[in-house]
Amino acid sequence: MSAFGWPLRRRFLLEPGTAFLNHGSFGTTPRRVLAAARRWQRRMEANPDRFVREILPGALRDAAARLAGFLSCSERDLVFVENATSGANAVLRSLELRPGDEILATTHGYNAVRQAMRYVCSRTGAKLVEARIDLPVKNESDLIASIQNNIGKRTRLLVLDHVSSPTGLIFPVKRLAALARRRGVQVLIDGAHAPGQLDLDIASLGVDWYTGNCHKWLFAPKGCGFLWARKSAQRGLHPLAISHGYGKGLAAEFDWTGTRDFSAWLAITAALDFYSRLNPQRLRAHNHRLAIESATAISRAWGMPLDGPPELHGSMMAVRLPDSLQRSDPARLMSRYLTLRRTVVAVMQIGGARWLRLSAQAYNSPGDYAALLRTLPEK
């Protein structure tokens, strides 16, 4: 396939003239993968009855098997969900928590998942504890210590982002899971950003549940997420919509939660083909280098810190915004970047401060980041 950077942009629908530096938020899907999803839709619409009864069950399991191969886990422990938000919700809302139990998360957790944790706590009398992680992070041991110090006698569940949303920091989930399990604490990983950005071997991580998105860094159409559960953590786990498969096992419960468009899940095969043709190792190296080099150049130009060391990042990195912008509204800043700089970039708020989060994907080249270097954004 073509070289990374500009030559690859034509394989996507990205609008011309705009530097797209926010792959992290929603991803963007290649034309070829969208075409594969459309083909599945046409197959369904040609005879919906036959499709649902005779084609879909096998096709879904085949797609799950292909994804399981990529994630290094068993197809029997893997189901599709719409996105990481619903995967995390399915786990959280299946838990049997008692008053006084604690869910331990971090101050870097994704807000939608935090709200789901607050909701289950409010229904059960459990408590949400958030380990504070200050930026910049110095090293992996810092991350581990902040979390370990907050595991207590009542901690029932540890919820960690594999790659944190506001910064792109990679959490050492395997080491943290081992610590948690020694204390009898179950572990849910929110891997919304991990598939495609990191080399994953889910079954070896020692966690109980792992949810992730394929529509961010794996090029699948929107609405393609997954949930993996170790065997012992499958009992009592139910999708958000209980349907015909209730009580019949993981796949039966999750594969059918009511009539829907299945094309995003079925197109995972095309997404994985696209990803592997790019050469995953080279792709990840390209993205990592671009994210680190551009964030470092901006941090030097602005005289502001990076969120942590390069080795704790994959394809995203954050730079603290200059003091003059620390009071600005993040959404307004993002709109200003777009209208004045033709640049799509994420402005994140964490620990009361505003950070600029840069993403780097196959279609990005160094020139995309130039507008951020030249001038400070307007208030």
Ligand X SMILES: Cc1ncc(COP(=O)(O)O)c(C=O)c1O
- Between 217 and 302, name the residue whose CB sits nearer to ligand X: 217
Q: Which of 151, 199, 206 is nearest to 177 (CA)?
A: 206
307 in contact with ligand X (CB under 6 A): no
Q: Which of 110, 123, 113 is nearest to 88 (CA)?
A: 113
Q: How far apart are CA 167 and CA 357, in angstroms?
A: 6
Q: How far is the CB of 303 from ligand X (least distance, A)?
A: 28
Binding mask 218-237 for ligand X (x = CB under 6 A): --------------------
List the one residue from 186, 213, 287, 359 that touches ligand X (CB under 6 A).
213
Binding mask 96-115 for ligand X (x = CB under 6 A): --------------x-xx--
- Between 22 and 365, name the residue whose CB sits nearer to ligand X: 22
E-assigned strands of the chain?
19-20, 78-81, 102-106, 127-131, 155-161, 186-191, 209-213, 225-229, 316-320, 343-344, 346-350, 353-359
- Between 213 and 287, name the residue whose CB sits nearer to ligand X: 213
Q: Which of 109, 35, 63, 67 is nearest to 262 (CA)?
A: 63
Segment contacting ligand X (CB under 6 A): 62-70, 77-85, 116-124, 332-340? 77-85
Render the burial of 93-112: b for 16+ CB within 10 Å, e for the rest. ebbebeeebbbbbbbbbbeb
Question: Which residues inside 249-278 make contact with ligand X, applying CB under 6 A?
Answer: none
Task: Specify whether the backbone of 34 is left (phi greater than 0), alpha (psi in -120 to 50) or beta.
Answer: alpha
- Between 97 and 192, name the residue whose CB sits nearer to ligand X: 192
83 in contact with ligand X (CB under 6 A): yes
What would the two tokens of residue 69 be? 């191969």
Q: How far is the CB of 86 from ligand X (least distance, A)?
A: 7
Q: How far apart are CA 302 and CA 292, in angstroms?
A: 15
Q: How far is the CB of 212 from ligand X (least distance, A)?
A: 9
Look up residue 248 and give its DSSP letter: S
Binding mask 161-200 for ligand X (x = CB under 6 A): x---x------------------------x-xx-------
* Burial of 280 (C-beta count, 10 Å sphere; 0-12/13-18/19+): middle
- Between 29 and 165, name the residue whose CB sits nearer to ligand X: 165
Q: How far is the CB of 205 from ligand X (least distance, A)?
A: 16
- Between 44 and 194, name the residue whose CB sits nearer to ligand X: 194
List the one residue from 9, 25, 128, 349 that touches ligand X (CB under 6 A).
25
Please identify which residue in the block is written with the tokens 């928590």.
Answer: 97
Which alpha helices (DSSP H) does 224-348 contain, by range? Answer: 250-255, 263-266, 268-277, 280-302, 330-341
Q: How far apart are CA 336 and CA 321, in angstroms?
A: 14
Q: How far is the CB of 137 from ligand X (least distance, A)?
A: 16
Please identify which residue in the block is written with the tokens 């951020």.
Answer: 372
- Between 25 and 41, name the residue whose CB sits nearer to ligand X: 25
Binding-site residue total for ligand X (CB under 6 A)?
A: 13
What would the two tokens of residue 122 be? 């409010």
Q: How far is the CB of 136 from ligand X (least distance, A)?
A: 19
Q: How far is the CB of 192 from ligand X (least distance, A)?
A: 3
Residues engaged in binding ligand X (CB under 6 A): 25, 83-85, 110, 112-113, 161, 165, 190, 192-193, 213
